[in-house]
Structure 1
Amino acid sequence: MTPRTRLQITAAAPDPALLDLPWDVPLVDWPAERLAALPRGISRHTVRFARLSGRVVAIKEIGETVAYREYELLRQLSRLDVPSVEPVGVITGRTAPDGEPLEAVLITQHLRFSLPYRALFSQSLRPDTATRLIDALAVLLVRLHLVGFYWGDVSLSNTLFRRDAETFAAYLVDAETGDLHDTLTDGQRAYDLEVARVNIIGELMDLQAGEFLEEDVDAVAIGDALAERYGELWTALTSSESFGLDERWRVQARIERLNDLGFDVGELDITTDLDGTTVRIQPKVVDAGHHSRRLMRLTGLDVQENQARRLLNDLDQFRAATDRQNDDETFVAHDWLTEIFEPAVRAVPRDLRPKLEPAQIYHELLDHRWFLSEAKRRDVPMREAVASYVRDILPLRPDEESVMGVSAADLREDTDTTTLPVVPD
């Protein structure tokens, strides 16, 4: 019999509860009571979700060397503030009761409210869902390339998606083929983009074969659209721009254009030609999350970029409606948060809150209120909109925190809306 080796746990903040999981059992054979019922994307490795100290973690069986390498890459991406899953640790030295060695595992934090692309297509989503996912993936790929990360296996399967108002935000979930450099060459970026295009076309064709995607959807055109969207965004973020000294207003216009794309410019490289008649500017430091950082600063809400954009618009409308344009923005934001946003979200019954993130619920409430007002040809108070949304819309939505990928019909249930907290008009 092979002698048993010592279990080794590598983690920045080890959780003692890790010792309670059945590491002497192959992951594929773990008992159901240890697992969390979440849908898994396609993976070349065995992956399971488990409950750990009140949270959910993803566990992937993988070779020891690769596990440590991916763990370190994910830690580096986290420090660079790139959208990716959070690494928890690596466990090696696993053996079965008979002494048979078992593969190492990489443990990552489950990204709440995230959806693998197949779970998205199992729901009743708008026809342009594939296009919106491609847009999100293009933004993620640009952000990764800006920090010098070469992915090597870009695909929908290696990505998780979270709702971001009417769009999606993409997160890297598999970094085992990646590598981090100071900067990437044009060839490295082009290869990543071509791998992404080919993989996405194949994945969409697979969805069509499974009747999850309409046959008339042009998978090749969508794959090509990723390259086009990536190119547009990369050019906007990195290209230089020249103009005359009498057009210096274009410096601020460039910054505002990047802000509209959701990026902050931390530094600009501004030079003039020899005779001083032409100015040339180029962004040197570009950070994503312009609107989300502003909302965080004003309210403490940590949300996706387009959700933040929508909430800031509502905050601006509140400011105008209360005639407080000259008041300190921080004070107005506090009042909007406590008088408008929080009461509306708290009005959603507790059992329905896991369906969507609070910011997404509020975004949908604003949409629902607008549609009701149009239908009734009057300004519908928020209290009435919340009651209608809770009664008619939210119960039909899949529970994206814990039972993603289940059809809306399976989640339909009667909801008591007779006792709602007070919501402002």
Structure 2
Amino acid sequence: MALQITANQADPALLDLPWSIPLEDWDPKYLAALPRGISRHVVRFVRVGATVIAVKEIKEDIARGEYELLRALRRMDMPSVVPYGIISGRVDADGNELDACLLTRHLEFSLPYRALFSQRLRPDTAGRLLDALAVLLVRLHLAGFWWGDVSLSNTLFRRDAAAFSAYLVDAETGQLLPSLSNGQREHDLDIARVNIAGELFDLQAGGVLDPDADAIEISERILLRYHQLWEELTGVERFETGDRWRVDERIRRLNQLGFDVDELAMSTDLGGTTIQIQPKVVDAGHHSRRLLRLTGLDVQENQARRLLNDLDSFRAGEDRQAESEELVAHDWMSRCYEPIVRNIPADLTHKLEPAQVFHEVLEHRWYLSEQVGGDVTTEWAFADYLARVLPTKPDEDSIVGVDTMALPVLAARED
């Protein structure tokens, strides 16, 4: 049999690796010393030029299926490892066939859950890991991916401030479908609950997890968090027509959960308005590129996110979902954005850039609406903002150019 290499990036250095030797017998000189999780297959980290890849020895048909699944997930911007290639047609020195190898890129700064627990993290670490896993599972389910083997072992975690981000590692049991039924989602959750409880019991037996911790209770946290997230993302919310500010509140909650709103589907009836929000996880810079395309405004990513949220709320409130996005954006600019930025008093224009002023007016409108318990117009919010907020801001040109080495150092603290 001839050695076959299927790779999305051909690297001649792959030919220098000892594919005729079973993976568990490879010389350490080929390996990278990185923490590995538990796997039913032999897995090793290997250096290929300047790249570190994970090599998993597995049957060829399973390797090809998982490779294609991972490629599909990456095209959908799902948090998962990046597929690198497949090595098949392997034989040893005696001519015996060896299993194929699935190659994935090592996810930098990520750790398996055992490596995290070995660092003697705080008692709530298990809960935060499960929160991250719940977010990952919701994202996958929204995309129509049934995992089939949800566990901490099949996930990698990256530190994300005080929390963690989770990434799918093992997709060999997964299926990508147009959508998932409630039964399929609950099946994945039941698998997760059982697997995670077993993993936590294993940590307790090894003296890593607090012996007084309730492994079953901790494992069931993923069910609670998953259902909370799923309801927040897919639930239908009813409110009176005078409470349209609740659209902003719903979007704000979704953004805080790490989801970006791609679409607002609204319908009205005699009793009020029904809102249903469908989220979509988008790549970095998506908002600034989309806003630039629609309006010509070139602003920072978070500013763009907030402006686009207002644009989408405007489109939904005007019941113009069926119209061209570019046409609606033009009307939003002329009716919402430009009347604000054109009317910033000349003596206050040096305070903040226009997009930041508009963003802060939207924030001010939301706070005022929350205080009065109903919709506040942008014009009212702008007038109040000009009177009470913008004059108190420091001049931007008094901040830009400051020698940061001369600023006082704040003592670092642990949360």
Q: TM-score, normalised by structure 2?
A: 0.71
Aligned to 2:158: 162
- Runs of at least 4 residues off by over 4 Å: 288-295, 297-301
Greater relative CO (CA pairs within 8 A, separation 6+): 1
Q: CA deviation at 1:324?
A: 6.8
- Deviation digits for residues 79-122 of structure 1, max 9, x if unmatched? 11111000000010001111111100000000011000000111
Is 1:105 aligned to residue 131 of structure 2?
Answer: no
Aligned to 2:274: 280
Aligned to 1:220: 216
What SS does the aligned partner of 2:2 have?
coil
**Match among 25, 46, 49 for residue 50 of structure 1:** 46
Aligned to 1:75: 71
- Measure the CA separation in 1 of the matches of 2:285 and 2:408: 28
- Measure the CA separation in 1 of the matches of 2:222 and 2:288: 29
**Match among 118, 123, 132 for residue 122 of structure 1:** 118
What SS does the aligned partner of 2:110 have?
coil
What SS does the aligned partner of 1:236 have?
helix
> Do the aligned partners of 2:233 and 2:279 also contact (CA within 8 Å) in 1?
no
How many corresponding residue pairs? 319
Aligned to 1:206: 202
Letter in 1 for 2:51: R
- Measure the CA separation in 2 of the matches of 1:131 and 1:246: 39
> Do the aligned partners of 2:288 and 2:301 also contact (CA within 8 Å) in 1?
no
Structure index of larger Rg? 2
Letter in 2 for 1:326: L
Between stretches 177-186 and 245-254, larger displacement belongs to 245-254
**Match among 145, 149, 163 for residue 149 of structure 1:** 145
Aligned to 1:14: 10
The RMSD of aligned alpha carbons is 3.0
Q: CA deviation at 1:249?
A: 1.8
In structure 2, list runs of 5 or more residues that go unmatched.
Answer: 290-297, 303-348, 357-395
- Measure the CA separation in 2 of the matches of 1:291 and 1:217: 41
- Measure the CA separation in 2 of the matches of 1:291 and 1:15: 30
Aligned to 1:381: 409
Q: CA deviation at 1:126?
A: 1.1
1:129–1:170 CA distance, 2 compared to 1 (3 A): same
- Measure the CA separation in 2 of the matches of 1:289 and 1:232: 24
1:329–1:246 CA distance, 2 compared to 1 (3 A): closer
Letter in 1 for 2:202: D
- Measure the CA separation in 2 of the matches of 1:240 and 1:117: 35
- Measure the CA separation in 2 of the matches of 1:324 and 1:141: 46
Aligned to 1:408: none
Letter in 1 for 2:273: V
Aligned to 1:327: 353
Q: TM-score, normalised by structure 1?
A: 0.70
- Measure the CA separation in 2 of the matches of 1:41 and 1:83: 18
- Measure the CA separation in 2 of the matches of 1:237 and 1:294: 23
> Following superposition of structure 1 onto structure 2, how do residues 224-243 of structure 1 map, counting pairs within 5 Å?
224-243=220-239
**Match among 250, 254, 261 for residue 250 of structure 2:** 254
> Do the aligned partners of 1:143 and 1:288 also contact (CA within 8 Å) in 2?
no
What SS does the aligned partner of 2:226 have?
helix
1:32–1:79 CA distance, 2 compared to 1 (3 A): same
